[in-house]
Chain A
């Protein structure tokens, strides 16, 4: 497997706002067909990492390859779900129209979306369970519905590699599960999905690959190997009280030497 070309290869990526580096010397390989979480504390640079990979913020150094080619040549292989809060949902447009925007890149200059794009958008809306909302003005959507619309827009991009910035943010449990099912379906189709994620409890259920980030890359690889309390402590610093109950890759809590258990508050 190691000889295969990774879906995403990031080499020496550094991003700085002013003097302070936001991302420092990131190396990251993501094998194709993985469902990967990017995790880390607030300010760790998770969103910036995605934006730097997509060329939306200029890196100070580094390069990004997608399926063996430079990002700018392989851009058509990449789909993107930005944070829901990054747009004005009072914009005068409809659900169907937003989803069709996913085809604008492939359409080329001066061409208008037509029946083909419309059909693709409807199929994608059907997939996310939003077909009945196609004509809805986007300001009349709930948070979970907005998220589904953004997902549908990414689906019509028909990409090989998807980057999603907090797709579970502010959605209810049912929508979250529906989205996860969709992501797993994409993985089954051999697509690579990279997700900025926050909930430590669900990592093992949702993802098979993980990158822990805190300005630097702390650790990365299969969830089974990397999602340990040792690594979480490195990524989240000392603030790991919340890890007591879990860190599922650790030896069971009744194992000896409880004192070394990270985050455990000693009496």
Chain B
């Protein structure tokens, strides 16, 4: 647990961990809305589209100041998202196609500009590299302050416009009929998403950032059916991933922070997909199996009851398991009998014949519905 102590004393680790946690928190919270609005890929488009903005900001100012580059990223990402909205609204091109077009065009432009900078300015480009795959270790106190301030701003607007965002996500047509400025609210929400993405670019990189938007929300959706809890849980998953990823990469030498964060968050998502109550794949499978076994046992019991009912004294009429098998359309008669024995509904005699107990008779009457 020495890393726990380091988290409080080691300045670099603390900066990286706090930065990663706050980027995860904001991306997770905003990502919940993107996922609910089926705009998961918008995050991907925005983060890739930020690249030319970063390089252009560097080319124009010659500065590698984080704030300048982040501003460039935000402007480019914002332009891209508005462009996507414009294409969808004014042409027949659908959202996924528009996203694909804008993403690849902007990213291609970014790579092109980057190679130009590399050729002309030589080593001057070195600092831009880290925006591709992220470099959390390079985070300094100033970066952290910028991230925290922007993140806080995003979350404050999110809380203030909560009901507008909720209605926009659930039923935009009704929002329009109420007189809410739907397009404006849409632009505000998208802008918040852009800021959330830009906050994380330096740490996680343009290529992997979309996972921070999508994965925490997908995981959180497994656990709750309330929007408020979903957004909070998604933010918590994102923050926990950021924190864990940062600590892990500090413990293991040469483990890059960005990809580690992404692996942590996808692990949370995969686990949630399987074991979450109600929606989990595994939970559902178990539930279905239980249900199938119960139905099967019930049908064996009903068959035995029908056989017994033909005798003068039903309680004293044992039958062979084979007789039940001929009556049953499905396999698993023996398994059903075993289960019924455990529940004390049937019993077998030394000859291997089966008969209903009193409780079994009562249950049989219940199942058959009084028809004898």
A interface, size bucket: 20 to 34
Find out whether the CB atom of A54 lies under 8 angstroms from the CB atom of B163: no
- On chain B, the residues within 8 Å of A97 by CB distance are 227
A-B pairs with beta carbons under 8 A, tally: 74
Q: How far is the CB of B174 from chain A (nearest CB, A)?
A: 6
Q: How far is the CB of B35 from chain A (nearest CB, A)?
A: 11
- Residues of B172-197 contacting chain A, CB below 8 A: 173-180
The interface stretch among A24-32, A100-108, A175-183, A207-215 is A100-108
- On chain A, the residues within 8 Å of B227 by CB distance are 91-93, 97
B226 at the interface (CB under 8 A from A): yes
Closest B residue to A110 using CB positions:
B160
Quick one: which of A54, A93, A113 contacts B176, CB cutoff 8 A? Answer: A54
Find out whether the CB atom of B162 lies under 8 angstroms from the CB atom of A91: no
Q: How far is the CB of A124 from chain B (nearest CB, A)?
A: 15
B36 at the interface (CB under 8 A from A): yes
* Chain B proximity mask over A96-132: 1 for CB below 8 Å, otherwise 0: 0110010011010110110000000000000000000
Quick one: which of A76, A78, A88 contacts B170, CB cutoff 8 A? Answer: A88
Q: Determine the distance from Cα of A211 to Cα of B325 in the docked complex, in whole angstroms.
A: 65
- On chain A, the residues within 8 Å of B171 by CB distance are 82, 86-87, 101
B residues with CB within 8 A of A: 36, 160-164, 166-167, 169-171, 173-180, 221, 224-227, 230
The 7 closest A-B pairs by CB, nearest first: A105-B178, A80-B177, A137-B225, A75-B179, A54-B177, A87-B171, A91-B170
Please name 16 further chain A to chain B contacts, defined as beta carbons within 8 Å, in addition to the given A101-B174, A104-B163, A157-B178, sorted by A numbering.
A54-B176, A54-B177, A55-B176, A82-B171, A86-B173, A87-B170, A92-B226, A93-B170, A93-B225, A101-B163, A101-B166, A101-B170, A104-B164, A104-B178, A137-B225, A139-B225
A residues with CB within 8 A of B: 51, 54-56, 72, 75-76, 78, 80, 82, 86-88, 91-94, 97-98, 101, 104-105, 107, 109-110, 112-113, 137, 139, 153, 157
A-B contacts, 5 of them at CB < 8 A, read A80-B178, A88-B36, A92-B227, A112-B163, A139-B225
